[in-house]
């Protein structure tokens, strides 16, 4: 059986002919459209009507990611933690300005951290900012409290801790901005181990097949087809095999987008024994930014974009981003951008345009810049097609950062740069499971069984790595 040619999604060596000449490299299956074998009937159109246009939906991962081999059952990678020491779950335990240290009356008090380990990362002498909402106070850490997890702090000004919150105020924010020590001071600070977060994923095995009876293979019929690359020509039988292959190729991408790690014992148990995998949507929902705000084209459309920028500022602040949207969200964004560029009262038109009646008005935008961020917008067919996510309308798009990470590749034996979004597939010197295809049966020159049929099998084993998922934004309805 010919192998897959990824340039046109056809088996290598298979191509249409400009004339109706029988050869071994222009066959299609007509089992689902056997009326094409009745060419002697009048008024029969040879060419299929492409009523759904380009039906395949794959291509997203090729645009934003890459594919690389692996040789194990598990992928593990680490991501940097935050550089600075900060907390947002601190409680003001004592803010009465009582005598806490050396019986000296002051304006300080106690801060209670979620754990003693958290408190130990803030040394005596550290200078911190304590905040609750708009109330902000700069303090110095004087030392540990009597209870593990407590720190004694003193404000730099005469204002006491009650300006931030009374005793028992929770969910205060604290971050260390520096330190200050007296002359001749001794040992200071704490030794901090760089925080590292480790993530992992496992590949899943995808399988499918196409079967055709020997009698149907013997019925030669002609049909003019248009390939996914736009070329056309005549092919004979096994057309359904070509479409089965295209469908499987789409599922390879959809599985990487939609996969979930299995936690249900009914799936992970011995009877089934599969474990699932973490797909793109699951990774972003777990570790990324999920936007569920109002429509972009409303009165506060630009404000909604700014809210997303504020969240990106708190993460990697990656300048260039791709927006993959469904039709509704793309039109919302077009309307919002058009409103910013409106002519007349309340708006300004930028650029010079010839007011020519022959020039069509372009109301679509391919990108925009806001603040320090560039966004490039494109439609994602997967979210629009009525047989995929267009049938389930809860996800309207995703924002993917244009970035790479430098890691050591065990297969290549060197450091390489990988996109934040990339696919790993199982491969070794003995077997490559990126995309396997083989034929069984007793038809078409293959004699592997007594069944009077041909079965074309497909298999792939792969997983998606979503690195730096905190920089991705999932747009949900």
CA–CA distance, 317 with 335 (Å, rounded to integer): 26
Instruction: Specify the pLDDT at position 278.
Output: 94
Instruction: Specify the pLDDT at position 149.
Output: 92
Distance (Å) of CA 348 to CA 95, 143, 166, 337: 53, 58, 49, 12
Under a CB-based contact definition with an 8 Å cutoff, are residues 175 and 118 in contact? Answer: no
Instruction: Specify the pLDDT at position 6.
Output: 40
DSSP 31: T
Residues 184 and 244 in one domain: no
> Does any domain span residue 241?
yes
Distance (Å) of CA 327 to CA 55, 353, 364: 17, 27, 12
Task: Give 414-421 contacts, CB < 8 A, sequence gap 24+.
Answer: 418/66, 418/68, 418/465, 418/467, 419/64, 419/65, 419/66, 420/466, 420/467, 420/468, 420/469, 420/471, 420/472, 421/61, 421/64, 421/65, 421/280, 421/464, 421/465, 421/466, 421/467
Instruction: Specify the pLDDT at position 334.
Output: 87
Instruction: Specify the pLDDT at position 269.
Output: 83
- What's the CATH code of the domain at 93? 2.40.30
- Max CA distance (Å), the chain: 108
CA–CA distance, 386 with 397 (Å, rounded to integer): 16
> Does any domain span residue 11?
no
Q: In total, how many domains does the chain have?
A: 2
Instruction: Specify the pLDDT at position 299.
Output: 67
> Does any domain span residue 168?
yes
Instruction: Specify the pLDDT at position 221.
Output: 56
Ramachandran bin of 366, using left for φ above 0, alpha for ψ from -120 to 50, beta for the remaining angles: alpha
Residues 447 and 394 in one domain: yes
Residues 147 and 212 in one domain: no
Instruction: Specify the pLDDT at position 12.
Output: 46
Burial 134-154 (b: 16+ CB within 10 A, else e): eeebbbbbbebbeeebbbbbb
Angle made by CA atoms 346, 379, 311, in degrees to the nearest 5: 65
> Does any domain span residue 37?
no
Residues 240 and 361 in one domain: yes
Residues 116 and 64 in one domain: no
Residues 309 and 448 in one domain: yes
Q: Which domain holds residue 187?
A: 86-193
Residues 268 and 311 in one domain: yes
> Does any domain span residue 49?
no
Per-residue pLDDT of the chain (477 residues; tens, 9 = 90+): 333 344 444 444 456 666 665 554 555 544 444 444 444 334 445 566 666 667 777 778 877 777 888 888 888 888 877 888 999 999 998 876 555 554 455 778 899 999 999 999 999 999 999 999 999 999 999 888 888 999 989 899 877 888 899 889 999 999 999 999 988 888 777 888 777 788 889 999 999 988 888 777 666 556 666 655 566 766 554 556 777 888 888 899 999 999 999 888 888 888 888 889 999 999 999 999 999 877 887 667 788 889 999 999 999 888 999 999 999 999 988 888 887 766 544 554 554 455 556 666 666 788 888 888 999 999 999 999 888 888 988 899 999 998 776 655 555 566 666 788 889 999 988 888 999 988 888 887 778 888 888 888 999 999 999 988 999 999 998
Residues 347 and 394 in one domain: yes
Pairing state between β 289-291 and 473-476: parallel
Q: SS3 for 15?
A: coil
Residue 429: Cβ within 10 Å count: 6
> Does any domain span residue 4?
no
Burial 274-289 (b: 16+ CB within 10 A, else e): eebbbbbbbbbbebbb
Under a CB-based contact definition with an 8 Å cutoff, are residues 70 and 53 in contact? Answer: no
Distance (Å) of CA 395 to CA 299, 388, 399: 22, 12, 12
Instruction: Specify the pLDDT at position 41.
Output: 39
Residues 154 and 255 in one domain: no
């Amino acid at each position: 059986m010919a192998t897959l040619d990824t340039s046109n999604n056809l088996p290598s060596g298979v191509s249409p002919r400009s004339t109706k000449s029988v050869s071994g490299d222009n066959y299609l299956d007509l089992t689902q459209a056997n009326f094409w074998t009745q060419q002697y009937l009048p008024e029969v159109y040879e060419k299929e009507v492409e009523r759904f246009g380009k039906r395949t939906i794959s291509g997203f991962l090729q645009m934003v990611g890459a594919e690389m081999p692996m040789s194990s059952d598990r992928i593990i990678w680490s991501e940097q933690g935050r550089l600075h020491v900060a907390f947002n779950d601190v409680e003001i335990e004592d803010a009465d300005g009582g005598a806490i240290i050396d019986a000296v009356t002051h304006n300080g008090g106690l801060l209670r951290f979620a754990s003693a380990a958290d408190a130990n990362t803030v040394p005596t002498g550290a200078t911190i900012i304590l905040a609750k909402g708009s109330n902000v106070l700069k303090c110095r850490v004087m030392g540990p409290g009597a209870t593990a997890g407590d720190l004694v702090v003193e404000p730099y000004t005469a204002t006491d801790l009650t300006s931030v919150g009374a005793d028992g105020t929770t969910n205060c924010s604290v971050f260390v901005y520096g330190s200050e020590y007296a002359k001749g001071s001794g040992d200071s600070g704490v030794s901090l181990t760089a925080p590292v977060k480790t993530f992992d994923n496992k590949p899943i095995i995808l399988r499918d097949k196409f079967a055709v009876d020997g009698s149907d293979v013997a019925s030669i019929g002609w049909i003019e087809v248009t390939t996914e690359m736009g070329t056309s020509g005549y092919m004979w039988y096994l057309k359904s095999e070509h479409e089965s292959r295209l469908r499987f190729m789409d599922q390879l991408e959809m599985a990487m987008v939609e996969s979930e790690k299995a936690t249900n014992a009914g799936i992970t148990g011995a009877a089934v024994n599969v474990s699932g995998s973490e797909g793109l949507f699951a990774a972003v929902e777990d570790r990324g930014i999920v936007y569920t705000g109002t429509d972009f084209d409303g009165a506060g459309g630009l404000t909604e974009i700014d809210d997303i920028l504020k969240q990106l500022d708190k993460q990697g602040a990656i300048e260039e981003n791709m927006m993959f949207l469904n039709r509704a969200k793309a039109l919302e964004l077009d309307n919002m951008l058009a409103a910013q560029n409106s002519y007349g009262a309340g708006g300004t038109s930028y650029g010079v345009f010839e007011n020519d009646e022959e020039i069509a008005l372009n109301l679509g935008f391919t990108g925009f810049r806001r603040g320090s961020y560039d966004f490039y917008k494109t439609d994602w067919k997967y979210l629009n097609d009525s047989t995929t996510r267009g049938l389930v309308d809860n996800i309207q798009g995703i924002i993917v950062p244009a970035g790479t990470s430098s890691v050591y590749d065990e297969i290549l034996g060197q450091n390489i740069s990988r996109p934040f979004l990339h696919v790993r597939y199982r491969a070794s010197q003995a077997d490559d499971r990126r995309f396997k295809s083989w034929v069984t049966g007793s038809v078409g020159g293959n004699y592997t069984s007594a069944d009077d049929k041909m079965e074309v099998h497909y298999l792939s084993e792969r997983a998606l790595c979503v690195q730096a998922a905190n920089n991705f934004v999932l747009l949900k309805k």
